[in-house]
Chain A
Amino acid sequence: GNSVTQMEGPVTLSEEAFLTINCTYTATGYPSLFWYVQYPGEGLQLLLKATKADDKGSNKGFEATYRKETTSFHLEKGSVQVSDSAVYFCALSRGFKTIFGAGTRLFVKA
Chain B
Amino acid sequence: GAGVSQSPSNKVTEKGKDVELRCDPISGHTALYWYRQRLGQGLEFLIYFQGNSAPDKSGLPSDRFSAERTGESVSTLTIQRTQQEDSAVYLCASNYGGGKSGTGELFFGEGSRLTVL
Contacts and interface: CB of A to CB of B under 8 A. Distances in A.
Contacts of A34: 105
Contacts, number: 67
B103 A32 contact: yes
Interface in B43-65: 43, 45, 48, 50, 56
B70 interface: no
B42 A89 contact: yes
A51 B103 contact: yes
Nearest to B53: A96
B109 interface: yes
Interface SS majority for chain B: loop
Interface stretch (A11-19, A40-48, A67-75, A76-84): A40-48
A98 B109 CA distance: 16
Contacts of B100: 95
A31 B97 CA distance: 15
B71 interface: no
Contact of B105 (A49, A100, A102): A49
A55 B31 CA distance: 26
B102 A93 contact: yes
Interface residues of B, number: 27
B45 A97 contact: yes
B92 to A, nearest CB: 10
Interface string B22-37: 0000000001010100
B98 A95 contact: yes
Contacts of A43: 4, 91, 108-111
A98 B33 contact: yes
A93 B98 contact: yes
Interface of A: 30-32, 34, 36, 42-46, 49, 51, 89, 92-103
9 contacts: A30-B101, A32-B98, A32-B103, A44-B43, A96-B98, A96-B99, A98-B106, A100-B42, A101-B42
